[in-house]
């Protein structure tokens, strides 16, 4: 395959695109409940440290492979491996990345469909005056309704693939430029509202004043895993975006900017969520149900609660939409690498993801008793194994390829920071990031 001629229209467009890929359920759904289960500030401190030591260097490795290859992930890896005199089997890493994203998007679309349902319900004021038992029962009833889950899953995937089919400039770039500033505006609005609640001070203390007693090995492993998950590394999605990166853009500066923007979303979401939770005297460690059960209960008892809950679920929908769009791109780029047109590639990806997503959507009703592996249903499998095992494995192989296999001249040119900067990055990846990634993988396996 010849090198791609597509490029992001500006440096800002690239940063917003990569941020769009990174910001999503991991920041707004997963971060609050994982932080809630792991002591708040202690988790946050370790999480930020691992973003710097693990997330940013591996993110740079993934982007520079795409930038050096200027092709789809599979084709770029194959061409660069041949240039280095290494095995062309490295190209299968691109296919593995596409498979990982495929699995993630299949359940991601289902959960994102929940945000559509809850956005409509909050706009209609369905949670106003409802008791905790009624809201909890309503969520259970929603999960047990296969038709409604499939409808929302289908609608969300259609929203996603229409944008992907439009291409890099007309689709991904245009929407990212519109939605990412809107997302941050909504987050700041929610954080400003949180500052007026009685739980704001408690939330800040809980998030930013760590207790040494809370620093356990379990907290460290969870923080390490989340730092990896939240930046969307390990699935070759960023490799696809690196292929479209402008020649004059600084890769390290872009990676740091994305990490800062990604962390800021998690922090603002945490402040907004925990201020409301503490205002109502609720438990921040309510787990995955924090988003769809605890928050509606908390907001239902606050002045203008329906309005602010609607803003929150709109924010969640926008974040998951931009993330899903950016996750779909590497799969489409991989098929385009075989000479397929973008429209055909998008249609095939959409139909395949939708079909497998049905198994996740039905895991709460029709297929609730179908537990093919480890006593887990399909939703539990695809929402745990790909993020916990496939992403770290992919990230480990990407880091090894970039720091040990990729020709030094090609890597240094793609990184664009001079000889000293390249050697510093390579040593960090080789002796810090790769061992840490291996620890994340082992913790996922165990």
Query: Mind listing the pLDDT tens digit for each residue in 106-129?
Result: 999 999 999 999 999 999 988 887
> DSSP letter at 4?
P
Counting the structural domains of the chain, the total is 1
pLDDT exceeds cutoff 60 at 4: no
Residue 4 in domain = no
Distance CA 266, CA 432 (A): 25
Is 319 within the bounds of a domain? Answer: yes
Residues with Cβ < 8 Å from 85, sequence gap 6 or more? Answer: none
Task: Say how far apart CA 55 and CA 397 lie, in whole Å.
Answer: 14
Report yes or no on 197 lying in a domain. Answer: yes
Tens-digit pLDDT profile for residues 57-91: 999 999 999 999 988 888 899 999 999 999 989 99
Does some domain include residue 6? no
Choose the weakest-confidence range: 66-80, 184-198, 329-343, 404-418: 329-343
Share of the chain above pLDDT 70, in %: 96
Mean predicted confidence (pLDDT) in 292-302? 79
CA distances to 115, 189, 255, 293, 297 from 135, rounded to whole Å, are 15, 25, 41, 6, 7
pLDDT at 329: 79
Q: What is the pLDDT of residue 3?
A: 62
For residues 80 and 71, give the distance between their C-alpha atoms in angstroms, rounded to a whole number: 10
Torsion angles phi and psi, residue 338, rounded to 5: -90, 10
The verdict on residue 329 lying in a domain is yes
Q: Higher confidence at residue 26 or residue 428? A: 428
What is the spatial distance between Cα 37 and Cα 35, in angstroms, rounded to a whole number? Answer: 5
pLDDT at 400 over 60: yes
Residue 313 lies in a domain: yes
**Using the 8-state DSSP alphabet, how is residue 403 labeled?**
I
Sign of CA dihedral 291, 293, 297, 303: positive
d(CA 80, CA 277): 50
25-48: average pLDDT: 83
pLDDT at residue 188 greater than cutoff 60: yes
% of residues, the chain, pLDDT over 90? 40
pTM for the model stands at: 0.89
Average pLDDT over the chain reads 87
What is the gyration radius of the CA atoms in the chain, in angstroms?
A: 21
Report how far residue 190's alpha carbon sits from residue 203's, in angstroms, rounded to the nearest whole number: 14
Q: Quick one: tokens of 17?
A: 């695109």
Residue 3 lies in a domain: no
28 or 378, greater pLDDT? 378
Q: What is the pLDDT of residues 342-395, one digit of tens each?
A: 899 999 999 999 999 999 999 999 999 999 888 899 999 998 888 889 999 999
In sequence order, the β-bridge partners of residue 346 are: none
CATH number, domain containing residue 279: 1.20.1740
Q: For 238-255, what is each residue's pLDDT tens digit?
A: 998 888 888 889 999 999
- The predicted-structure confidence for 192-249, as pLDDT tens digits, reads as follows 988 988 999 999 998 898 877 777 888 888 888 888 888 888 988 899 888 888 888 9
Q: Which domain range does residue 186 map to?
A: 11-445
**pLDDT of the residue at 9:** 66
Give the integer Cα–Cα distance in Å for 94 and 100.
Answer: 10
Residue 2 forms part of a structural domain? no
């Amino acid at each position: 395959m010849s090198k791609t001629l597509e490029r992001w229209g500006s440096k800002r467009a690239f940063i917003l695109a990569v941020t769009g890929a990174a910001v999503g359920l991991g920041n707004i759904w997963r971060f609050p409940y994982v932080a809630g289960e792991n002591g708040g500030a202690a988790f946050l401190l370790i999480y930020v440290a691992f973003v710097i030591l693990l997330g940013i260097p591996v993110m740079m490795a993934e982007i520079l492979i795409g930038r050096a290859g200027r092709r789809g992930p599979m084709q770029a890896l194959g061409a660069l491996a041949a240039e280095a005199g290494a095995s062309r089997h490295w190209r299968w890493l691109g296919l593995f990345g596409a498979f990982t994203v495929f699995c993630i998007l299949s359940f991601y679309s289902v959960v994102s469909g929940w945000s559509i349902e809850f956005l409509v319900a909050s706009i209609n004021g369905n949670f106003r005056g409802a008791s905790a038992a009624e809201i909890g029962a309503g969520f259970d009833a929603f999960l047990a309704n296969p038709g409604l889950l499939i409808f929302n899953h289908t609608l969300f995937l259609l929203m996603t693939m229409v944008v992907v089919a439009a291409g890099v400039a007309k689709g991904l770039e245009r929407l990212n430029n519109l939605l990412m500033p809107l997302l941050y505006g909504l987050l700041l609005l929610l954080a400003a509202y949180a500052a007026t609640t009685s739980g704001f001070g408690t939330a800040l203390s809980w998030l930013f004043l760590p207790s040494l007693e809370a620093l356990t090995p379990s907290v460290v492993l969870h923080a390490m895993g989340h730092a990896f998950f939240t930046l969307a590394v390990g699935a070759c999605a960023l490799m696809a975006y690196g292929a479209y990166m402008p020649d004059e853009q600084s890769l390290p500066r872009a990676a740091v900017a994305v990490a800062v923007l990604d962390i800021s979303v998690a922090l603002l979401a945490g402040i907004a969520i925990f201020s409301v939770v503490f205002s109502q005297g609720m438990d921040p460690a309510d787990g995955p149900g924090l988003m769809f059960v605890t928050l509606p209960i908390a907001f239902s008892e606050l002045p203008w609660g329906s309005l602010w809950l609607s803003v929150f679920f709109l924010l969640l929908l926008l974040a998951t939409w931009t993330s899903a769009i950016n996750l779909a791109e590497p799969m489409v780029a991989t098929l385009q690498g075989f000479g397929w047109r973008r429209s055909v590639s998008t249609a095939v990806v959409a139909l395949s993801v939708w079909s497998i997503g049905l198994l996740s959507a039905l895991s709460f009703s029709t297929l609730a008793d179908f537990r093919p592996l480890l006593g887990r249903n399909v939703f539990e499998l695809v929402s745990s194994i790909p993020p916990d095992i496939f992403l770290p494995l992919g990230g480990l192989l990407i880091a090894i390829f970039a720091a040990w296999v990729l020709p030094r001249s090609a890597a240094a040119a793609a990184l664009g920071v001079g000889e000293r900067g390249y050697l510093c990055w390579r040593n960090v990846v080789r002796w810090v990031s790769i061992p840490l990634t291996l620890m994340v993988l082992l913790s996922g396996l165990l």
